[in-house]
Amino acid sequence: MTTRESAGDRAAGTTGQDGRRFASYYDRHVVKPPVWHERYVGGYLYLGGLAGASSVLAAGAELTGRPRLARAGKVAALTGISLSAAALIADLGRPERFVNMLRTFKPTSPMNMGSWLLAAYGPLAGAGAVTDLTGRFPAAGRAACYGAALLGPAVATYTAVLIGDTAVPAWHGGHREMPFMFAGSAMASAAGAALLAAPAAENAPARHAAVLGTVLELAAGRLMRRRMGMVAETYERGRAGSLLRAAETLGVLGAAGALAAARAPRPRAIAALSGAALLAASACLRLGVFAAGVASAEDPRYTVVPQRERLSAAAS
Amino acid sequence: MTTGEMAPRAPQVQEEAGYPRHPPRMGFFTDTSVCIGCKACEVACKEWNRLPADGPFELTGMSFDNTTQLSASTWRHVAFIEQRKPVRAPGGPAGDQQDLRWLMASDVCKHCTDAACLNVCPTGSLFRTEFGTVVVQDDVCNGCGYCVSACPYGVIDKREDDGRVFKCTLCYDRIGDGLIPACAKACPTESIQYGPLDELLERAEARLADLHGDGVPDARLYGNDPADGVRGNGAFFLLLDEPEVYGLPPAPRDATRDLPAMWAHAAVAAVTLVCGIAVAFAGSRRAG
């Protein structure tokens, strides 16, 4: 926190914990903290990633003749995208006007592009899951499954652009690495859902995806925080810090469990536990990223100091 | 269109927005050096635009500022900053260290040339008017709140009990009829000046030169530079201290400028995801 100076100069100056001086208006935020709700938009980031990566996993299973794994992926994709769309709509101030998102086609708005993406991806994911569960129209179902797998990766990573294209210091500051972190987290969560739902005989790809996804997520997250400068603090402190540490622990445990499951005495139980840990890890990661954004917007230091540094770098 | 002899100085954003014929770009020049903190602008804005109260009235202890910030229901906000600083009246004796300098400034939506709120709005509710200003269409807004996080100045905000976002319209309903915006009309010291942006920019530079000549070296213009991170503001300011002292960002930037890079990174990340899962399958021999 900042220490305030004498009342007379209260508005003019504050000193950071690290001694770095910066001025603010009564310690008030410069940019507005997001009005998005953590549970809705944080949940949207998570469920969209789960859905998108699950579609890719399902297509891989379809191609390699693993019907139970394919079904797990398709059901996870439909569940994820339905809930994420519901969360997005619930977050609106005027939910009944959701369809206004599609009254224009606007490449400068990631949320508009995302709405079109969901409008195309959702029905494909739905058709893939429903045809699989009912056994009707198998050829169309396979086509829908592959179609969803083409759009799924974009569904999983565009959300990083969605939050990156803002004035929120912790989100915009990570706009290069965040898509990779989200891709890894999505992959790990899709693997988690598959480990929970698919039999051990078919879930070897999910075990590998769990490890690869977790490694990608952790590596991209580390790189992001290293490149971000002082704003990285918001990912390490407070609620965001707790959530992200939980995400890391759960992710590592889940990935290790996924690897060990094949040789464990009770593979089914270990796989299911690992899957649950991976799903929880991904949820914690997205909520943690959300919380870091809010913290970075609430404290004027994260807006003012990096901008001052940019100005002095440009001047020198 | 601006006529004739001088090239327009402010970007003529209306042409970029698709208006082949349009009036000159209109804006505000807020000269905080003559602001007396009367808040007539806040009141006139509230009255003309029929804005509700922000909440129960509370004394903040922030000098005379009990408004605290721009919001969905406050489109002009007067900041009060008390500083211990030697003050010298033009031509008068030098002040001493015990002097209190009281800065006052009426903040407002900047009507940016590169408006982040407008760029990210997914519904097209935010639009560029023929005057070059940025206005919310409240019959289209679905309250997604994206603009709130996008604005580098923390201007636009959501009215929670209504669900939609609101901000200064530069009195779109008045200026179309040849009237001046309510705040500028009410300002008793001409701290708030309304007019064609090019004219205001010239006037501001003359005022700045006067102040520098009078021994006020701290005076500076803010938001007037078309080379800044939002290509300049439609509403710019003359300040007497660093922008952040007034709660303004020192180097605001429209994040949409990075959008091509962001999409590129997301695309590579999407391909990485596919490759990762492909590798996961390639490394898995069928067990049964």
B271 located within any domain: no
Query: How many residue pairs bridge chain A and chain B with CB atoms within 8 Å of each other?
Result: 291
pLDDT at B57 (0 to 100): 87
A 10 A CB-CB count for A5 gives 14
**Cα distances (Å, whole numbers) of residue A117 to A123, A150, A311:** 11, 11, 38
pLDDT at B3 (0 to 100): 46
B21 located within any domain: yes
pLDDT at A267 (0 to 100): 85
Here the ipTM equals 0.94
pLDDT at A266 (0 to 100): 86
Contacts of A268 (CB under 8 A, 6+ apart): A199, A200
Assess whether pLDDT exceeds 70 at residue B94: no
A105 in B contact zone (CB under 8 Å): no
* C-alpha span between B136 and B169 (Å, rounded): 8
Contacting B residues, span 55-94, partner chain A, CB-CB under 8 Å: 60, 62-63, 65, 68-69, 79-84
Q: How far is A296 from chain B (nearest CA, A)?
A: 12
Res. A265 pLDDT band, cuts 50 70 90 = confident
Assess whether pLDDT exceeds 50 at residue B4: no
* C-alpha span between A30 and B284 (Å, rounded): 51
B7 located within any domain: no
**Mean pLDDT of all residues belonging to chain A:** 94
Assess whether pLDDT exceeds 90 at residue A13: no
A154 in B contact zone (CB under 8 Å): yes
Res. A12 pLDDT band, cuts 50 70 90 = very low
List the single range of A76-85, A248-257, B48-57, B86-95 with lowest mean pLDDT: B86-95
Contacting B residues, span 123-142, partner chain A, CB-CB under 8 Å: 123-125, 140-142
Chain B residues with CB inside 8 Å of A310's CB? 251
B165 in A contact zone (CB under 8 Å): yes
Mean pLDDT of B62-67: 96
Assess whether pLDDT exceeds 90 at residue A5: no
* C-alpha span between A10 and A26 (Å, rounded): 6
The CATH T-level fold of domain A32-302 is: Formate dehydrogenase/DMSO reductase fold (1.20.1630)
pLDDT at B95 (0 to 100): 63
* H helices present in chain B, as ranges: 13-16, 40-48, 116-120, 146-150, 172-175, 182-186, 197-213, 259-282
Chain B residues with CB inside 8 Å of A92's CB? 142-144, 163
pLDDT at A313 (0 to 100): 92
φ, ψ (nearest 5 deg) of residue A228: -85, -15
- Residue of A105, A146, A161 to mutate, testing the B interface (most B Cβ within 10 Å of its Cβ): A161
Q: What is the CATH number of the domain that holds B250?
A: 3.30.70.20
pLDDT at B285 (0 to 100): 72
Tell me the residue range of the domain where B166 lies: 13-254
Take residue B64 and report the two structure tokens written for it. 């005379």
Cβ of A12 within 8 Å of Cβ of B119? The answer is no
Percentage of chain A lying above the pLDDT 90 cut: 90
Res. A10 pLDDT band, cuts 50 70 90 = very low
Split into its structural domains, chain B has a count of: 1
pLDDT at A4 (0 to 100): 37
Q: How far is A254 from chain B (nearest CA, A)?
A: 16
B26-31 vs B235-239, strand pairing mode:
parallel
Query: pLDDT (tens digit, 9 = 90+) per residue, B159-195?
Result: 999 999 999 999 999 999 999 999 999 999 999 999 9
Res. B148 pLDDT band, cuts 50 70 90 = very high
Q: What is the DSSP letter of A38?
A: I
List the single range of A7-11, A73-77, A79-83, A188-192 with lowest mean pLDDT: A7-11
How many alpha carbons lie under 13 Å from residue B206 in its C-beta half-sphere? 6
B164 located within any domain: yes
B273 located within any domain: no
A51-72 in b/e form (b: 16+ CB < 10 A) is: bbbbbbbbbbbbeeebeebbbb
> Domain limits of chain A?
32-302
**Mean pLDDT of all residues belonging to chain B:** 93
Chain B residues with CB inside 8 Å of A94's CB? 141-143, 163-164
B267 located within any domain: no
B144 located within any domain: yes
φ, ψ (nearest 5 deg) of residue B159: -90, 110
Report the residue of chain B nearest A160, measured CA to CA: B266
Query: pLDDT (tens digit, 9 = 90+) per residue, A38-81?
Result: 999 999 999 999 999 999 999 999 999 999 999 999 999 999 99
